Amino acid sequence: MSKAKGKAKQVKGKLKETAGDAVDDKRMQAEAGAEQMAGKAEDMTSEAANRTKKGMRKS
């Protein structure tokens, strides 16, 4: 997992959400929301892993 991949998923989800709004596709909008949340989770997981690694190096 990487922060960049998480951000990329968030952007992709936002684009999909915009497209879903434009064509009034509820399923696409729901998928977009899920994709954005997955991206945020990946981003947060990566951030936590980085902080843990930094903390371990200080010891």
Chain centre to alpha carbon of residue 47: 12
Please choose, from the candidates 10, 3, 17, the residue with its C-alpha nearest in 3D space to the C-alpha of residue 45.
Answer: 3
pLDDT in tens, 12-42: 999 999 999 999 999 999 999 999 999 999 9
pTM over 0.85: no
Supply the mean pLDDT for the chain. Answer: 92
Residue 1: pLDDT band (50, 70, 90) is low
Please give the pLDDT value at position 56.
82
For the chain, the first-to-last Cα distance in angstroms comes to: 25
Sorted by sequence, the CB contacts under 8 Å of residue 6 that are 6+ apart come out as: 39, 40, 41, 42, 43, 44, 45, 46
Residue 59: pLDDT band (50, 70, 90) is low
Residue 58 has pLDDT above 90, yes or no: no
